[in-house]
Amino acid sequence: MASVFGQIFRISTFGESHGPALGVVVDGCPPRLPVTAADIQVELDRRRPGQSRITTQRREADEVEILSGVLDGLTLGTPIAMLIRNADQRSSDYEEMRTKYRPSHADFTYQAKYGIRAWQGGGRASARETVGRVAAGAIARKLLQLAAGVEIVAYVRRVATLEASVDPARVTRDDVEANIVRCPDTAAADKMIALIDEARKDGDSLGGVVEAVARGVPAGLGEPVFDKLEADLAKALLSLPACKGFESGSGFDGTRLRGSQHNDAFYKGKDRIRTRTNWSGGIQGGISNGEDIVVRAAFKPTATILREQETVDMDGNDTTLKPRGRHDPCVLPRAVPIVEAMMALVLADHYLRQRGQCG
């Protein structure tokens, strides 16, 4: 049950990094939603490996096949299964990992959990697993857009210590796609690209922060207690490989303020109740208030680095390992469409939950 996400708009992903295929089943999507393979493919292409010099050089077309749930370009209300075949597998790169655990990877923990693991390429722990999420997210995004006018944009906010300046209220997808690092602050973007390039040449890796905004979310989404919108968004983002932190609205920095500085005063807006500030990040008591929802996810530096490292083998003996294999020196640029997908999945699910319970 580890691979099912959502309550009404529910997805179930499958597939190992170096197995025959990956995919996803979307259950609970409303009927008569216009969906084509092209809608999915455009998002998969943004996630695709080998898309630029600062991402992994593994070559995968990641072409999606819709197996069910869509007829003549409309959803049927039944499960939508989507398949992506693996093509460019170089298992030989991983031969050494058959017996040695890569530091800060999931090799050891999978072995501890299951007593077996897909040692080629990380199996389910590989970022390749997210291809199914992005496919499903493309449908969720379409639903939100057509049913409620919701728009979701994510972007790289920070790489290592290089912080960009971005206005979540105005940033557009075109701004984001304008460069290969997906940072809408072009000056910062140039520096980020240079820094990633340098790390890559160095056989090292970098981390950073992705920020995402959802605009046009109606007030009332999210549930009071455990399934708060922030809680489900946090789970969604922390479920991504390499993610180690989550913030909503003012986040960690906001905890340094006093209540008198931090409270968002309400006022009568043109057509709805608004807040003067948005420290809450569009969510109060776990429920959307109609303002922009703003969240941030922290991604650690990629664990795979092309350097000799201390580790142990499957017999528990000390040894060293110098990984080969292709990898992203910094996962941030490709994480952008994945973060958007997860945000869309959470919001679509809560949109349908709200419609179910509150009509």
CA 120 to chain centre: 23
- Give me the least distance between CB of 349 and a second copy, in Å please: 10
- Give me the least distance between CB of 287 and a second copy, in Å please: 4
Query: E strands, 122-167, where?
Result: 151-159, 162-163
Closest of 330, 322, 324 to residue 103, by C-alpha: 322
Q: Are 159 and 208 in contact (CB under 8 A)?
A: yes
Count of residues making up the chain: 359
User: Rounded to whole angstroms, how far apart are CA atoms 105 and 147?
Assistant: 40
- Give me the least distance between CB of 181 and a second copy, in Å please: 15
User: Rounded to whole angstroms, how far apart are CA atoms 24 and 196?
Assistant: 31
- Give me the least distance between CB of 170 and a second copy, in Å please: 23
Which C-beta is closer to a second copy: that of 6 or that of 337? 6
Which C-beta is closer to a second copy: that of 176 or that of 331? 331
User: Rounded to whole angstroms, how far apart are CA atoms 185 and 191?
Assistant: 10
Which C-beta is closer to a second copy: that of 130 or that of 179? 130
Which C-beta is closer to a second copy: that of 173 or that of 300? 300
Which C-beta is closer to a second copy: that of 216 or that of 254? 254
- Give me the least distance between CB of 82 and a second copy, in Å please: 10
Q: Which residues contact 152 (CB under 8 A, 6 or more apart)?
A: 141, 144, 212, 213, 214, 215, 340, 343, 344, 347
Which C-beta is closer to a second copy: that of 53 or that of 272? 272
- Give me the least distance between CB of 33 and a second copy, in Å please: 10
Task: Classify 63 as helix, strand or coil.
Answer: coil
